[in-house]
Structure 1
Amino acid sequence: MSSASASSSSMPAAYINTEAVMNALPISAERRSLLTRLKNDRLANLRPPSEFFDRDRFSKPSGMVDITQRLSYNLTHFQSNYILIVLGLLIYCLITNFWLLFTIIFLILGLNFVRKLPPNEPFVFQQFVITQKQLYTGLIIISVPLLWISSAGSAVFWIVGASAVLVLGHAAFLATGVDSEFAAAANQV
């Protein structure tokens, strides 16, 4: 066994060097810091799978008051887990719809290219002189049919619908934790 494979085998399988991934992305430093802050704020509150999928706490709600209490508690308590579910559905949608993935990459690269051009200097391509407004207009004209071909509207509705069913279903059928009962008792005193 080589030393490289020995050192990689001691590293956990779920470990991803997020700093290297963030530095490899073609985004500005301020957006990179925003993503880092989001990662630190949101993903720091991830609840463990044993708590999120606790089969002993799944039960049928007794009525609308119980559903409201469960939704209120679970949507805030498991917020980071629900964000990961929505991101997972988004990634699944992009992986299974090649045209949508192509369209989004095309839009991002096109907008990035036009944004990096000097604002007052036209773009010269062979003998054609194209202004920044014309480039944005051309990008929109090309993107609208691509978005239609890739069924972007139905993908958005699918992601919203599937996310709502999964997140609200989980939040409504998972009984609140013991800590919420202590908080309710403390508010009554």
Structure 2
Amino acid sequence: METPEVHIDVSGNMETPPDTKSGFNLSSFTNFSTRIPSLWELLRLSRQNIRPWSEFLQTSNFKTVANVSRLTNRIIRNLAYFQSNYLFVFLGLIVYCLLTSPLILIVLGAVFYACYKIKQNSTPVAFFSKQLNTNQQCIAVGVASVPVLYLAGAGAVMFWVLGASFFVISLHAAFYNIDAIVTEDTETFLSETV
């Protein structure tokens, strides 16, 4: 048996792709921040969804739970219902720590002032034959401030804030009886968001 010859024409002009430099591109890293909502926008949205503080702190609604499955359900529902309030509890603990740690407050003030002056001047700086724009300069100031913040005790403050927030928020979420305030309308809203 003879196999038939197959002839495929592959002639033509081929262009080589342009040479792309591999490695880390700092400009793509700074463009990442445009996709993240700003802190002020996040706080504005949280303020719109905040529950009344009188409802949040109502002591008559603090009750124990009969079993663990109901406790888990209660914690999840409280976290969904009071998430903006919990965010402001966390921010309040951060402000408390900053006011009681003046050295950290001074370092953060200096960093924000340096970034403000960099943004105000808006002149690129040459660093190792690379031009740094204002965003990259602010990132460099932030990175340079990390060792100073560490020496000022910011690591301990950060873990204290995280621990205290976790303790206070989980205590409130575990003992606050959400069933006392949730109606049929808010129940359907909670089931949609969770």
Structure 2 length-normalised TM: 0.61
Residue 84 of structure 1 and its aligned partner are, at CA, apart by: 1.0
Q: Deviations over 1:39-92 (max 9, x none)?
A: 442112222222112222111122221221111111111111111111110000
2:118 equivalent to 1:110: no
Name structure 2 gaps, 5 residues minimum. Answer: 1-33
Q: Could you say if the C-alpha distance between residues 91 and 122 of structure 1 is closer, same or farther in structure 2, counting changes exceeding 3 Å? A: same
More moved, 135-144 vs 37-46: 135-144
Report the counterpart of residue 50 of structure 1 in structure 2: 54
In the TM superposition, 1:59-70 aligns within 5 A as: 59-70=63-74
In the TM superposition, 1:1-189 aligns within 5 A as: 34=38, 37-115=41-119, 116-119=121-124, 121-122=125-126, 132=132, 139=141, 143-178=145-180, 180=182, 182=184, 183=187
Q: How far apart are the structure 1 equivalents of 2:70 and 2:104?
A: 40
More moved, 75-84 vs 87-96: 75-84
Retained in 2: the 8 A contact 1:73–1:180? no
> Equivalent residue of 1:60, what SS?
coil
Q: Could you say if the C-alpha distance between residues 106 and 181 of structure 1 is closer, same or farther in structure 2, counting changes exceeding 3 Å? A: same
Retained in 1: the 8 A contact 2:71–2:174? yes
Residue 102 of structure 1 and its aligned partner are, at CA, apart by: 0.9
Residue 179 of structure 1 and its aligned partner are, at CA, apart by: 5.9
Name structure 1 gaps, 5 residues minimum. Answer: 1-29, 124-130
Structure number with larger C-alpha Rg: 2
Q: How far apart are the structure 1 equivalents of 2:110 and 2:166?
A: 29
Q: How far apart are the structure 1 equivalents of 2:152 and 2:167?
A: 24
> Equivalent residue of 1:177, what SS?
helix
Q: How far apart are the structure 1 equivalents of 2:179 and 2:143?
A: 52
Q: Could you say if the C-alpha distance between residues 167 and 92 of structure 1 is closer, same or farther in structure 2, counting changes exceeding 3 Å? A: same
Q: How far apart are the structure 2 equivalents of 1:159 and 1:94?
A: 10
Q: Could you say if the C-alpha distance between residues 137 and 47 of structure 1 is closer, same or farther in structure 2, counting changes exceeding 3 Å? A: closer
Q: How far apart are the structure 2 equivalents of 1:36 and 1:142?
A: 25
Q: Could you say if the C-alpha distance between residues 105 and 177 of structure 1 is closer, same or farther in structure 2, counting changes exceeding 3 Å? A: same
Q: How far apart are the structure 2 equivalents of 1:140 and 1:86?
A: 22
Q: Could you say if the C-alpha distance between residues 136 and 78 of structure 1 is closer, same or farther in structure 2, counting changes exceeding 3 Å? A: closer
Report the counterpart of residue 5 of structure 2 in structure 1: none
Residue 141 of structure 1 and its aligned partner are, at CA, apart by: 8.0
Report the counterpart of residue 10 of structure 2 in structure 1: none
Q: How far apart are the structure 2 equivalents of 1:112 and 1:101?
A: 16
Q: How far apart are the structure 2 equivalents of 1:40 and 1:97?
A: 27
More moved, 109-118 vs 37-46: 109-118
> Equivalent residue of 2:149, what SS?
helix
Retained in 1: the 8 A contact 2:61–2:180? no
Residue 181 of structure 1 and its aligned partner are, at CA, apart by: 6.9
Higher helix share: 1
Matched residues, number: 146
Structure 1 length-normalised TM: 0.63
